[in-house]
Amino acid sequence: MEAGVIGALWRYPVKSMQGESLEQTWITPDGVPGDRGVAVIDAASGHVLSGKRLEMLLTARAVARPGGPVIVLPDGRSAHLDAAAALVSEWLGRDVILARAEGSDARPVVEAEDGTFLGRSGSFFDSSPVHLVTAASLRHLAGLHPEGEYDARRFRPNVVVESLAEGLVEQDWIGRTLRLGEAVLQITKPCTRCVMTTSEQRELATDRGILRTIARETENACGIYARVLEPGVARVGDAVVVT
């Protein structure tokens, strides 16, 4: 069943910072290459810092470059990964390390709004390597909270699907197979939303009503997670087929 087309592709080179849109990308078993490949680590605790607790991270931006991302702060200052730790430490007011994902069996300790949790082993993903949301779901939620901006950037997906249907359509895809261009994915579970959806992100204002609406109307789910069955190239405009 053709479910729509790829409306947008995103990569987030540094965990919890703003990402960059892509016209095409490989989808590999580890997700989009370079996605969440670097994290900001508290030097004292060794914990991965997250926008779940440290919301100001979401106001910085990271852009992939050879040898590692360039980090751009809200005031315009920037630095390549190799020289960015001092800049980011000064900005945050705490000593931090910018670490690359190890690719080992170790699970990082990630700070959340109510404590810590263990992320995906060998990476800086909270859960699965690919996250999708449909524009239909965002339109549906916007209709329930018209004052809110249900911009896809609040939800940090890798793939935004322009669906042929309306409503929370991706929730019906859980357990099914999805083809994105040349890649084939298994949809595994819904994405449970957190406070990050409500936080300021440069052009997007703080809005706690975003999460309250999701919690009330969708049992706190918006978007889906997937694992990759067959790697391949996905391009904006490619068909999305659900089987």
What is the domain range of residue 102? 38-118
* 175, 189: one domain: yes
* 91, 198: one domain: no
Mean pLDDT of all residues in the chain? 93
* 152, 93: one domain: no
Instruction: Report how far residue 162's alpha carbon sits from residue 3's, in angstroms, rounded to the nearest whole number.
Output: 8
Could you tell me which residues are beta bridge partners of residue 177? 186
When pLDDT is averaged across residues 36-50 and rounded to a whole number, the result is: 94
For residue range 171-198, what is the model confidence (pLDDT) as tens digits? Answer: 999 999 999 999 999 999 999 999 999 9
When pLDDT is averaged across residues 83-88 and rounded to a whole number, the result is: 96
When pLDDT is averaged across residues 93-106 and rounded to a whole number, the result is: 88
* 27, 44: one domain: no
For residue range 4-20, what is the model confidence (pLDDT) as tens digits? Answer: 999 999 999 999 999 99
Among 85, 118, 151, where does a domain finish? 118
* 96, 215: one domain: no
Portion of the chain with pLDDT greater than 90, in percent: 82
CA distances for 207 relative to 140, 158, 179, angstroms: 17, 22, 34
Q: Is the pLDDT of residue 233 over 90?
A: yes
* 134, 112: one domain: no
* 190, 210: one domain: yes
* 143, 226: one domain: yes
Return left, alpha or beta for 63; rule: phi > 0 is left, psi -120 to 50 is alpha, else beta: beta
pLDDT of residue 173: 95
Q: Is the pLDDT of residue 95 over 90?
A: yes
Instruction: Report how far residue 110's alpha carbon sits from residue 232's, in angstroms, rounded to the nearest whole number.
Output: 30
Overall number of domains in the chain: 2
* 151, 86: one domain: no
For residue range 117-165, what is the model confidence (pLDDT) as tens digits? Answer: 787 887 888 888 999 999 999 999 999 999 999 999 999 999 999 998 8
Among 100, 118, 136, where does a domain finish? 118
Among 63, 86, 118, where does a domain finish? 118
* 74, 194: one domain: no
When pLDDT is averaged across residues 44-49 and rounded to a whole number, the result is: 93
